[in-house]
Each structure stands twice: as C-alpha cells, then as structure tokens.
Amino acid sequence: MSSELVRRSHNNNNTQTDNHTSSAQSNSSSKSRKPMFVTVLSRLPFLLVGIAIATFLFHFLPSPSASIVTDDSLELALPTRRVLLQEKGRVPLGLKTKRQKRIVVTGGAGFVGSHLVDRLMERGDSVIVVDNFFTGRKENVLHHMGNPNFELIRHDVVEPILLEVDQIYHLACPASPVHYKFNPTNVVGTLNMLGLAKRVGARFLLTSTSEVYGDPLQHPQAETYWGNVNPIGVRSCYDEGKRTAETLTMDYHRGTGIEVRIARIFNTYGPRMCLDDGRVVSNFVAQALRKVPLTVYGDGKQTRSFQYVSDLVDGLMRLMEGEHIGPFNLGNPGEFTMLELAQVVQETIDPNAKIEFRPNTEDDPHKRKPDISKAKELLGWQPTVSLREGLPLMVNDFRLRLLTDSKTIGDKAASAA
C-alpha cells in the first residue's frame, strides 16, 4: 500500500514536470505543435468510438420510467398497477393487453379447478390457487409446485382475502351431496370473491350449477327457465346457495359495474374426482373397481347428461375470455338413464358387476339435460368427448388411486403388525 502511494506521487511529480516542460517548449518553439497535433490525430479513433457508444446507449436504452409504461413483462408492469391501486383504490383490467394474466382459481385444488389450472398454466398465465382442501387435494396441483408462475394458498373463502389479479374463477364450494351438507360456503364465499373483484377491478366468473333448475318442469333446460327448487330441502344449501350466488353476481355487476360471467355446469366427470363423493359416475366406477355392487337409487330411470372435464374447462375459458355475461349452460346434451350409465360402466370395467337398488334421496331431480344452443351460438362451444371415450380415462386414474390407497393401507397394517 505504501509503495503504491509512493509510486503515484512519483508519477504526479513527473507529470507536473512534463507539463512545465511542454508549456515552456510551446512558448519557445513551433516544433512542439507538431507532436501535439499528431497526438490528437492518433486519439481521434478512440474519440469517435466513444461518441458512437454514447449515441447507441442514448437511443436504444430507454429510461426506467419509460420501460414501466411500455414493457410487456409482468415484473415491470406491477409497480404501475400498485401505484394505480394506491391512487384510485382499483387497478385496470389486464385483459385487453397481451401481458401475462394473473388469475386466481378458488377451489383450484379440486376436481374441475385442478384441470382448469393445468390449462391456464399451459397458456402461460400466472395462477394463484386458493383452497381450504375440504374436498380438494394438494396432489391435484403438485406437478406445478416450484413453477414460478404458480402459487398455492390455503385459505377458506368465507374469510376475505386481498390478491391483485386480473381474473377470478370462483369454484370454491363442495359440489357433492356428501360434502355440501356439511359446508355450505356458497353465499359468503361468493360475496367475498365479488368484493375482491370490485376492489381490484378483476373479471369474475361464477361456477353455478344445473341444480338451479331444481326438479325441472321444462326439458331440456334452457337458460331462460327459472327452475323448480325446494327452498327448505336437504339440497337447498347447494341449489338455493348457487341461485343466491347468481343473484349476488348480477347485483354486483349492475351496482358496481364489475365484469362478471356465469356458467351453469351440468354433471361433469373425469380423472381426479373424489373417490367416494356420492356423485353417480364416481360411485359406479369406484364400486365396479372394488368389485362391490353398483348402487342405483330409485328405479334407475331418472336421467342425467355427463360431460367430460376437458370440455367443461374449454367452455369456462371461452366464457371468461368472451364478451357475454351469461348465464350459459355448460354440459353434454347426451342423455342417459342411471341404468344405462351402469351398463356403460359394466362394459368398461367389469361385465359381471352387479346392480343394487336403494330408495331414492329426497328432491332428486327426475330429468336433467342441458339446452346448449346459447353456448354454441355465442361462445362457439360444444362438447367433443363422448361418455364411452371419456369414461376409460377416468377409470385409469381411479384404478391407480385405489391401488395406491390399498397399498398404503397394506403398508400401514404391515408396519403395525
């Protein structure tokens, strides 16, 4: 260090000496101008390169403030949205830009939600799943863990939550009779999510249900039909809950101007359904695989239509991205009696599977079949997967999960012994 200082001071002295000498020479002789001129000439190329670099930087690197306005990346866009949130209490929709969308899927760890999340992630969106795992499973979204575009929040939607998002797919709600009687979250959960949509200016999509038609007096059911619902029955927490959710959605739209979409979903099946949730397709498939009789309630002549989950997800995304509020029926118009469904399950899994009849549950609708003309016309949507094509895909998933379950039980029994 000291030697370095000594060397520098030597250099300074030399420079000073040189300066004195050169100024003395410039006064005395014209010879001294020639080396100076040569020196400037020899440095000219460096000077020109310097000017070129400065010009390039000035023109091609924008200032930080300009990049926030024009850059498409979410990271740079976020400060702008936050500033707007602070200034005006709401942010503009990201829908009309090409920017990556931030989407929350409530109930995203459930059956339908997890398939929707797969498609949104595939599209390159940034997805936040909000789920309390009442009927959903972490395993359904495990394959997205570690992806920076994916977040999973354990949260019950009956409590408010603040998330800065562009779109809200609101699915959180137990959908099967076994579960919804114990956890009627429809009204409060929907109210909270509408509040969130209003606060951050997000577009809100409600997943309503064909149950809003009750035991229908019109067949097939068009969206214009107002339904035939028992307001105080055992299923009312679900069907009346969804009817109230629709009302709230429209009230928020009319009262606060938020953008809303309503889907009325008909029976849907596919991989990742709850194994024992009391829904007819999952019941039959699990029973046939476990080699126990298929339970048919009533005389088995009541009809339902069954939609494969990928068709539904396609319909939900078209609805969210489209211009129309709805409500839209999303379902497969192919109509089957319970007995016909049991036969398809027998053909697919086990021709020797037995059928057992039990008394029907209260308020079970006799007929259910969607009229999907409106979705066809305005969303350009219709289902493409038939029951005979979709069922084997679901059976493979159920078989695997049942095997894993029985292996886990076997392992536990072995380690306990």
Q: Is 250 exposed, middle or buried (0-12, 13-18, 19+ CB in 10 A)?
A: middle
Residue carrying the six token digits 């603040």: 162
112-151 footprint of ligand NAD as x/- string (CB under 6 A): xx-----------------xxxxxx---------------
Q: Name the percent of the chain in helix, strand, coil, to the closest 5.
A: 50, 15, 35
Q: Which is nearer to ligand NAD, 100 or 302 (CB)?
A: 302
Regarding 320 and contact with ligand NAD (CB under 6 A), the answer is: no
Annotated active-site residue 238? The verdict is: yes
Hey, is 300 helix, strand or coil?
Answer: coil
Please name which of 150, 154, 160, 159 lies closest in space to residue 128, comparing C-alpha atoms.
150
Of 165, 173, 212, 345, the residue at the interface with ligand NAD (CB under 6 A) is 173
Smallest separation, CB 291 to ligand NAD (Å): 25
Please name which of 291, 272, 266, 269 lies closest in space to residue 280, comparing C-alpha atoms.
269
Q: By CB under 6 A, what part of segment 228-287 binds ligand NAD? A: 265, 267-268, 274
**Bridge partner residues of 215 (DSSP):** none
Q: CA 63 → CA 57, 72, 78, 84, distances in Å?
A: 10, 15, 17, 20
Q: Which stretch binds ligand NAD (CB under 6 A): 108-116, 119-127, 213-221, 295-303?
A: 108-116
DSSP 20-33: HHHHHHHHH-GGGH
Four-CA torsion 124, 129, 135, 140, nearest 10 degrees:
40
Q: 260 is written with which tokens?
A: 């809303």
174-193 footprint of ligand NAD as x/- string (CB under 6 A): xx-------x-x---x----
Regarding 327 and contact with ligand NAD (CB under 6 A), the answer is: no
Choosing from 169, 180, 238, 252, the catalytic residue is 238
Smallest separation, CB 351 to ligand NAD (Å): 27
**Contact present, 50 and 44 (Cβ < 8 Å):** no
Residues that contact ligand NAD, how many (by CB under 6 A): 30
**Contact present, 268 and 307 (Cβ < 8 Å):** yes
Q: Which is nearer to ligand NAD, 77 or 206 (CB)?
A: 206
Please name which of 163, 181, 171 lies closest in space to residue 141, comparing C-alpha atoms.
171
Smallest separation, CB 96 to ligand NAD (Å): 27
d(C-alpha 349, C-alpha 291), whole Å:
10
Of 157, 197, 212, 320, the residue at the interface with ligand NAD (CB under 6 A) is 157
Regarding 207 and contact with ligand NAD (CB under 6 A), the answer is: yes
Of 109, 121, 200, 212, the residue at the interface with ligand NAD (CB under 6 A) is 109
Of 77, 101, 105, 111, the residue at the interface with ligand NAD (CB under 6 A) is 111
Q: Which is nearer to ligand NAD, 112 or 194 (CB)?
A: 112
d(C-alpha 268, C-alpha 193), whole Å:
24
Smallest separation, CB 148 to ligand NAD (Å): 23
68-107 footprint of ligand NAD as x/- string (CB under 6 A): --------------------------------------xx
Given the rule CB under 6 A, which residues bind ligand NAD? 106-107, 109-113, 131-136, 156-158, 171-175, 183, 185, 189, 207, 209, 265, 267-268, 274
Q: Which residues are catalytic?
A: 238
